[in-house]
Amino acid sequence: MKSAHHIEDPDVILIGAGIMSSTLGAMLKELDPSLKIQLYEMTEGFGEEASNGWHNAGTGHAGLCELSYTPDYGPDGEVAVGKAIEIFNQFEQSKQFWAYAVSTGMISNTHEFVNPVPHLSFVYGQEQVDFLRSRFKQMQAHHFYEEMTYTEDRAEIKELAPLLVKGRDDTPIAVTKMDLGTDVNYGVLSGKLIEWMGAQDGAGYATNHRVLDITKANDRWTLKVKDLATGRTFTNSAKFVFIGAGGGSLPLLQKSGIKEAKGFGGFPIGGQWLICEKPEIVEQHMAKVYGMSPGAAPTMAVPHLDTRIINGKKALLFGPYAAFTTKFLHVKGQITDLPASIRTDNIASLIKVGLHNIPLVRYLVQQGTQSMKTRMGELLKFYPEADPADWELIDAGIRVQAIKKEDGDAGIVHFGTEVITSEDRSISALLGASPGASVSVNIIVEVIQRCFADRLATTEGHDRMKAMVPSYDEDLSLPEHAERQRELSQAAFKILNCC
C-alpha cells in the first residue's frame, strides 16, 4: 500500500490513480495550492489499470499515422483529416503540461515515461496505397504534419522498418512517417504526478482503498471508503468529487444518483497483445506502425506493430486483439460488472446496442477465441517472417465504452470519451477511453473549466494555467498560429528529451 497523510474533509476527492485523476490532482494543486485534496485507489499502486504500460499501447496519440482517425474520403474525393488535426492539437497540450511538470521539478527522469519513437502508417495492396497517398497529400498541407514523409520504395521502407519488408511478396506497399512520434508509459507518469501531489501541503493519497458509495447531503459529497488491507470502512467528505475510476467510473456515477448519469450504460471491450522480447528481433524495429482496419474491427482495435519502452527495456507489441468480456476492470474487475450496471434507465439502450451491434459482438467473441495460428496471420501481414515461437500472448486493459440513452434507436457504442458533470458542478466523471491517456490534459482542462471556473477567472489563475498549458485558450491548428505551434512543440520536446 502507498499512502501520504490523510486529508479529512478536503475540498476535492479524486477516485482512481490512473492518468486522469493524477493529472487533475497535479493541475489543481498547481492552479490553487490552498486546495485540500485526497485521492483513493483500490489497487496496491499507481496506474495499474488501463494506464499501466502493458495494458495500453503507449501511443502518444497525435493523429500522426493512426489510420483509424482518417478512415474515409471526404466530399472532395481526398481523405478527410480533420479528426487527426483535432487529436494533434489536444496532444500538444499534454506535451506542454508534461514539459512544464519537468521544468518546474514536479517530475523527473523523462525517459521513464516518454521516449521518441517514429510513427509510421503502413499499407499494402493498390487500393490501400492510393488511400495513403491521398491521406499524405491532405496531411502534409497542414503545418502540424509538414515533416511527414511518404514512400512506396521498398528499399527505403526496408531502411526504415526492415521487419515490414523481409520475406514480403511483391504486392505494392507504402509508408508515411513522422519522426516526432512518442511512446509513453502513462502508468509511470500517473505515479510521478501523484507522488508530487502527495508531497504538497494539504494533499494526500491512499492506495488499497476502495470507494464503495457516494451520497450527497448539505452541499458535500460523502464517500464510503474501505481499507482493503484491514477491512475497516470509514467516510470522508468533499465539496467536489472526480470519478476518474476508468472502468469503475460507471458504477460509481450510478451510485451518485445525479440526473446527468441517467440512461448511460457501459460496453466493455477487452484486449490482448502479442509481445516479443527477443533482443535480435526487437533491435531490428524502432517504430510504431499502424495499419488499416480489418473489417468489423472497432476503431481502437486496428492492429499496430509497436516498439515499447517499459522500465528502460525495449520490446515489440502487436495487437490489440479485441475480446468480449463482462468485466469493467482488468485487475480488480468481476464478471458480474456488466450485469450489475444494468438499471431501468439504461436497459433499453443496452438491449438496442446488443441488437444493433451484432457484427461487433460476433467480432469480439471470434477475436477472443481465435487460435494462435489465426492471430499470427494478422501479424504476418506486418511482419512476414514472424515466428510464433518468439511471441507471447498477454492481456491488455479493458475499455468500457459509453452508451447513451439519447441515441434513441441508434444503439451506438461511443468510441470516444464522455465527461459527465452534475448541474451544480460538484461532481464530474469520465466515461470511455479513446483516444484516452494521450489527451488527458485536454480532458482535465475541460473539467477544470467546467468545475473550477472561478479559479481560472482571476488573473493569477489564468496565468498559472497559461504557464502549465500555454495553448490552453488558443487554437494551434489555425494557419496564423503555425509559428507559435512550432515553437511550443519544439520547446516541449526538448525538455522531454524527445528530440
Ligand X SMILES: Cc1cc2nc3c(=O)[nH]c(=O)nc-3n(C[C@H](O)[C@H](O)[C@H](O)COP(=O)(O)OP(=O)(O)OC[C@H]3O[C@@H](n4cnc5c(N)ncnc54)[C@H](O)[C@@H]3O)c2cc1C
Binding site for ligand X (CB under 6 A): 15-21, 40-43, 47-51, 55-59, 61, 186, 210-211, 244-246, 248, 252, 271, 320, 332, 396-399, 430, 433, 435-438
Minimum CB distance to ligand X, residue 315 (Å): 14
Minimum CB distance to ligand X, residue 68 (Å): 11
| Distant-in-sequence contacts of 155-162, Cβ < 8 A, 24+ apart | 160/118, 160/120, 160/287, 161/120, 161/122, 161/285, 161/287, 161/289, 162/284, 162/285
How many Å apart are CA 187 and CA 17, to the nearest integer? 9
Of 144 and 186, which CB lies nearer to ligand X in the complex structure?
186
Of 317 and 353, which CB lies nearer to ligand X in the complex structure?
317
Buried-exposed string 142-174: b where 16+ CB fall within 10 A, e elsewhere: bbbbeebebbeeeeebeebbebbbeebeeeebb
Of 258 and 430, which CB lies nearer to ligand X in the complex structure?
430
Of 20 and 469, which CB lies nearer to ligand X in the complex structure?
20
Minimum CB distance to ligand X, residue 151 (Å): 25
Give the residue carrying C-alpha cell 474515409. Answer: 72
Give me the numbers of helices (H) and strands (E) for the chain, helices first please: 16, 21
Minimum CB distance to ligand X, residue 436 (Å): 2
Amino acid (one-letter) located at 132:
L
Positions of E strands within 277-378? 288-290, 304-310, 313-324
Minimum CB distance to ligand X, residue 252 (Å): 6
Of 138 and 401, which CB lies nearer to ligand X in the complex structure?
401
Of 157 and 193, which CB lies nearer to ligand X in the complex structure?
193
Contact at 8 Å (CB) between 123 and 174? yes
- DSSP conformation class of 427: E
Could you count the other beta carbons within 10 Å of the beta carbon of residue 327? 18
Of 129 and 228, which CB lies nearer to ligand X in the complex structure?
228
Minimum CB distance to ligand X, residue 275 (Å): 13
Minimum CB distance to ligand X, residue 301 (Å): 8
Cα angle 226-229-232, degrees, rounded to a multiple of 5 = 40
φ/ψ of 321, rounded to 5, equals -95, 120
Positions of E strands within 54-168? 114-116, 119-124, 149-151
- Per the rule left: phi > 0, alpha: psi between -120 and 50, beta: everything else, 156 is alpha
How many Å apart are CA 25 and CA 38, to the nearest integer? 9
Of 74 and 416, which CB lies nearer to ligand X in the complex structure?
416
Name the packing angle between helices 347-356 and 358-369 (round to 10°): 70
Minimum CB distance to ligand X, residue 494 (Å): 22
Contact at 8 Å (CB) between 64 and 145? yes
Of 91 and 138, which CB lies nearer to ligand X in the complex structure?
91
- Per the rule left: phi > 0, alpha: psi between -120 and 50, beta: everything else, 497 is left
Give the residue carrying C-alpha cell 497535479. Answer: 26
Minimum CB distance to ligand X, residue 41 (Å): 5
Minimum CB distance to ligand X, residue 357 (Å): 18
Contact at 8 Å (CB) between 145 and 139? yes
Which strands, in side-by-side order, build the sheet including 3-4? 3-4, 203-206, 37-40, 12-15, 240-243, 427-432, 417-421
Minimum CB distance to ligand X, residue 29 (Å): 17
